[in-house]
Amino acid sequence: MTKQVRQLDRVVIRFAGDSGDGMQLTGDRFTSETAQLGNDISTLPNFPAEIRAPAGTLPGVSSFQVHFADFDILTPGDAPNVLVAMNPAALKANLADLPKGASIIVNTDEFTTRNLAKVGYAANPLEDGSLDGWSVAPVGLTSMTVKALESFQISKKDAERAKNMFALGLLSWMYSRPHESTLSFLERKFAARPELVAANVAAFKAGWNFGETTENFAVRYEVKPARMVPGNYRNITGNAALALGIVAAGVRSGLPVFLGAYPITPASDILHELSKHKKFGVTTVQAEDEIAAIGVALGASYGGALGVTTTSGPGVALKGETISLAVALELPLVIIDVQRAGPSTGLPTKTEQADLNMALFGRHGEAPVAVLAPRSPADCFTTALEAARIALTYRTPVILLSDGYIANGSEPWRLPEVADLPDLRVEFATQPNAEDGKTFLPYLRDPQTLARPWAVPGTPGLEHRIGGLEKADKTGDISYDPANHDFMVRTRAARIENIEVPDVEVEDPDGTARVLVLGWGSTYGPIGAAARALRQRGLPIAQAHLRHLSPMPKNLGDVLKSYDKVVIPEMNLGQLAGVIRSRFLVDAIAYNQVRGLPFTAAELEGVLEEVVKNA
């Protein structure tokens, strides 16, 4: 059958089903195929919070959205063009996000009376006309997979599990994706069970062939590669990029890397990834709790390593006392907080930006630290290197604020040349530094950075006191002197404010904008997409984004005051807006949501349009 091939510039596909249906694997494989073709990509995995929700229920729905295009894109897409629904729960949980006219590929085998009742369908939506506004393609994914695998020596349960590969094969055919990497992946994944390799490969090919031969799908689509800066690329998640950034920091500093971590969603993948890189001098320890994890990391820093600890919001709360200890000891330490929705356990698999106040102020006493935030999955690599630079240069704890949206999402990342990465080498103290040439002063500071010397334990002649009690200036002896305490508190604060960070850059193409939208962290993509859309419609708007949140760029105050209005969208109740108002006396307009989901570009476009028209 000759089928029409239609060119598209972009597509958004969402795979949805039970948490046991392999939707994350399916989406990840489709993304990898798409990355190899050279499209620009942005993804949004969405996990159920329950570890094992009842099958076929709404709380157990897992989804993976992938946006790919032949041009530069910034978000995973506001709404799917195609929904692959593996059961009634997946359909019901995602239908509200689907615009009318979009395509729905439905696994009809799961639309049984029992499964419909589980999610409150009184009638079958495939038969009652409620889906007339959409283009519905009913496919018996389960039964067709079982039929395709009936000659294989596997159980019926294993055959049914392969239905996600049938769906992947069908979608790969529909959007002209290469599939050699998926077949190689299946050989690796099921290497210990050759019968499963053969079955899953057969299921994938059956889905591909079904698309090729059925009359249900008369059109095949192509999305050409995007124009990108020449280089070697790989698809990367935020957590993987953070891990590789820490590995690169160890290589460029010449220091061993020590990670102390306790598993917590959504940060655990950083521990998993770093544990693979022992050959680069990386040691990973899964501690018994969050307090022990940061304790051993700080101990490693004291011993001359690059100490790192990873966690999410609840873990940062537990680590607060040891972060304060690191401030007092003035030792380098990188704390990665992959934020999730709180408070308490909150929504552990959903995203939020609500830990900014805790990062800036959440410690006892005057205990300032540096705070950074990456803007996208690929930017996590650069931000991890920057966090290590600040920690090592200024002998300070650094909190890096990622979030669940960035951590699990992915995009193409251009691999840098190692020689182009920053030189992070440090000089340890090896000799006495007092004027008498015999005494070591552990708190004698570098006049430029205000950092104290880093003396590795065991260095002859450099014995010094360590602990949480206040130190005397220069000598490091215990001091209860009021004037000394005032001096040390102010000096530690000045050391943070003294950190060199780049000026904030403003994107204001024609220089006529009167409204500035300011963001931080993962709001970069939705803000950028909304600003682009407004400019294309002739509405001028400027955009600026903060990577450095403490200290802030020195030109930020002047930038803010050069615009009539400043809008700050955040996935919290206005934490950065509050800081901007108090520090720069700018009446910033806060736009906030705490739904556990990222902003959509369309939502921000509407909000910003109103502000621009009223400016």
**Residue 604 is encoded by which pair of tokens?**
């921000």
Nearest of 188, 201, 184, 166 to residue 21 by alpha carbon = 166
- The whole-angstrom separation of Cα 119 and Cα 116 is 6
**Residue 361 is encoded by which pair of tokens?**
């102020």
Task: Look at residue 1 in the predicted model and tell me its pLDDT.
Answer: 64
| Fold assignment, 506-614 | Rossmann fold (3.40.50)
Task: Look at residue 615 in the predicted model and tell me its pLDDT.
Answer: 86
Backbone angles phi, psi at 168, to 5 degrees: -65, -40
Provide CATH 3.40.920.10 ranges for the chain.
4-223
CA Rg, the chain, in Å? 27
Residue position matching structure tokens 């159920």:
48
Average pLDDT, integer, range 469-480: 96
Rounded to two decimals, what is the model's pTM? 0.96
Task: Look at residue 50 in the predicted model and tell me its pLDDT.
Answer: 81
> Is 455 in contact with 433 (CB distance < 8 Å)?
no
| Nearby residues of 404 by Cβ (< 8 Å), 6 or more positions away | 266, 338, 339, 340, 341, 349, 350, 351, 352
Provide CATH 3.40.50.920 ranges for the chain.
506-614
Q: Looking at 45-54, 225-234, 519-528, 581-590, which range is the least confident one? A: 45-54
> How many Cα atoms within 13 Å fall on the side-chain side of residue 210?
25
pLDDT tops 90 at residue 235: yes
Listed in sequence order, the DSSP H helices in 95-174 are 113-118, 141-148, 156-161, 163-174
Q: Looking at 19-23, 87-91, 447-451, 573-577, which range is the least confident one? A: 19-23
**Three-state helix/strand/coil letters over 267-324:** CHHHHHHHCCCHHHCEEEEECCCHHHHHHHHHHHHHCCCEEEEEECHHHHHHHHHHHH
What are 140-197's pLDDT values in tens digits?
999 999 999 999 989 999 999 999 999 999 999 999 999 889 999 999 999 999 999 9
Provide CATH 3.40.50.970 ranges for the chain.
235-415
Running DSSP on this structure, what letter comes out for residue 231? S
Instruction: Place domain 235-415 in its CATH homologous superfamily.
Output: Thiamin diphosphate (ThDP)-binding fold, Pyr/PP domains (3.40.50.970)
- Measured at the CA of 307, the angle between CA 301 and CA 313, to 5 degrees, comes to 130
Percent of the chain predicted with pLDDT > 90: 95
pLDDT tops 90 at residue 439: yes
Task: Look at residue 52 in the predicted model and tell me its pLDDT.
Answer: 78
pLDDT tops 90 at residue 121: yes
| Fold assignment, 4-223 | Pyruvate-ferredoxin Oxidoreductase; domain 3 (3.40.920)
pLDDT tops 80 at residue 42: yes
Strands 542-546 and 506-507: antiparallel
